[in-house]
Structure 1
Amino acid sequence: MTHRQTPDPAPGPAPTAGLSALLVLADGRFPAGGHAHSGGLEAAVAAGRVRDAADLESFLRGRVATSGATAAAFAAAACGRPADPSGAALRELDAELDARTPSPALRAASRRLGRQLLRAVGAVRPHPELDVLAAALPEGPHQPVGLGVAARVLGLGPHAAATAALHEAASGPATAAVRLLGLDPFAAHGVLVRLGPQLDALARDAAASASAAAARLAALGAPMLDISAQTHAAWEVRLFAS
């Protein structure tokens, strides 16, 4: 019997990090500082607006539909922009997101998280595009812009970047609720599961807008989050940085 040798497959692009990278980016244990932020939940709990799992779900649905959707749009856009050694497109995105963040406290928190994200991603996947972003925005990029670039260098596309941004917007406060409310962790994560269809729809919308001009990206705000962030920043004692 004659055996025919199967030819080696034609060389193709290097495999991407795919879903594994997405899960690492969105994991609260990733050393990018997200675990130290409640996403506005600490102030909402102190004001009596969030008291139980039902309130948490309402809070999260509002958060992801406003500031979360905006963050997802900018993460998707940053991921989808062509590589540019000058960093001009990323600076434009960052400036537009800055204009959509009225609270100085939230702007500072976002840039702090962006710097920490770049440092963490650079440690696990050094890449010239991370250096371009750091040089273009030496004060630190806004977190969604950093997340979009990080997703791209990890082999992900705009939809995955948007998904990660939305997951972070929801999972951060949900995790904080366990400490702030003594909430059952199963109840908190049950809320996240119920948010799944909404997060999926928002991620699709964000990915669809990834190629739009920066000025035309989502500009959905949450004034109460902005106001409470300023109040929270002035507290002498708090569990979370924001």
Structure 2
Amino acid sequence: MSRAALLVLADGRFPAGGHAHSGGAEAAVKAGLITGAEGLEAFCRGRLHTAGLVSAALAAAAALGVDPSSLDAAADARTPSAALRGASRKLGRQLMRAARATWPSEELDALAREFPKGAHQPVVLGVAARAAGIGPEDAAYCSAYESVSGAAGATVRLLSLDPFDATGVLARLAPEMDGVVGAAVAAARGVVGGGGPGALPAASAPLLEIGGEVHAAWPVRLFAS
């Protein structure tokens, strides 16, 4: 495994398009669910244990070489909101462009041909991790961290929140990220062991889904999702 490659993939400056998305934070701020660091921490904790767990498991399974088509279908089934499905595919398409330029791979090329409009982001992330020589645990860590760091960064911009406070939120969530990654990788290995994609977590986050639909209807917004 290449830890240096992990740093490149997980770097917020990697041109994967995440800076244009708030992970649901913009809708949560508008709804009054996030007004400061305390609300951000509660929001990120809920996101980590639901959408974050699902995404981390999908990324780990893809990094293990599970058929990405079946994983993409599993991601679709676990994302009721059409707006969030669309956002995930847009992020997947952008990540695919960056990953193919950085780590040329036949697997990435095949996935791009199969999903010209974009596969789900965590599936692309897992295949990109394979191309970069990164294992399932690190792919899951990358996905889990992205699931909360994007919302934290967006909240700094939305509320002019002190960046130190936002970083403190991420640091306090680190032990919980460890637990989520452990569960995600165990589930992914269960898929490889014969459980099929149905063995992956399907934790739901109804407020994220509702917020995603509401946000998509706004005529003016700072973030794409």
TM-score calculated relative to the size of structure 2 = 0.95
**Where does residue 155 of structure 2 map in the other structure?**
177
1:159 aligns with 2:137: yes
Aligned Cα root-mean-square deviation (Å): 1.0
**Where does residue 98 of structure 2 map in the other structure?**
120
**Where does residue 69 of structure 2 map in the other structure?**
91
Residue type matched to 2:213 in 1?
Q
C-alpha distance in 1 between matches for 2:129 and 2:26: 29
Large movers: runs of 4+ above 4 Å: none
The answer to whether the 8 Å contact 1:103/1:226 transfers is: yes
1:226 aligns with 2:209: yes
C-alpha distance in 2 between matches for 1:125 and 1:94: 21
Any idea what the Cα deviations from partners look like across 1:17-50, whole Å, max 9, x if unmatched? x222222222222111000000000000001110
The answer to whether the 8 Å contact 1:72/1:163 transfers is: yes
How far did residue 137 of structure 1 move?
Answer: 2.1
Percent of pairs with identical residues:
58
C-alpha distance in 1 between matches for 2:223 and 2:78: 23
Secondary structure of 2:175 counterpart? helix
Secondary structure of 1:38 counterpart? coil
C-alpha distance in 1 between matches for 2:117 and 2:221: 25
Structure 2 counterparts to residues 42-121 of structure 1, below 5 A: 42-81=26-65, 89-121=67-99
**Where does residue 13 of structure 1 map in the other structure?**
none
C-alpha distance in 1 between matches for 2:167 and 2:79: 28
**Where does residue 14 of structure 2 map in the other structure?**
30
**Where does residue 145 of structure 1 map in the other structure?**
123
C-alpha distance in 1 between matches for 2:205 and 2:112: 28
Where in structure 2 are there 5+ consecutive unaligned residues? none
The answer to whether the 8 Å contact 1:103/1:229 transfers is: yes
C-alpha distance in 1 between matches for 2:51 and 2:3: 24
C-alpha distance in 1 between matches for 2:70 and 2:113: 14
C-alpha distance in 2 between matches for 1:167 and 1:23: 12
Q: How many residues are paired up?
A: 220
1:19 aligns with 2:3: yes
Larger Rg: 1
How far did residue 201 of structure 1 move?
Answer: 1.0
Secondary structure of 2:210 counterpart? helix
C-alpha distance in 1 between matches for 2:41 and 2:184: 22
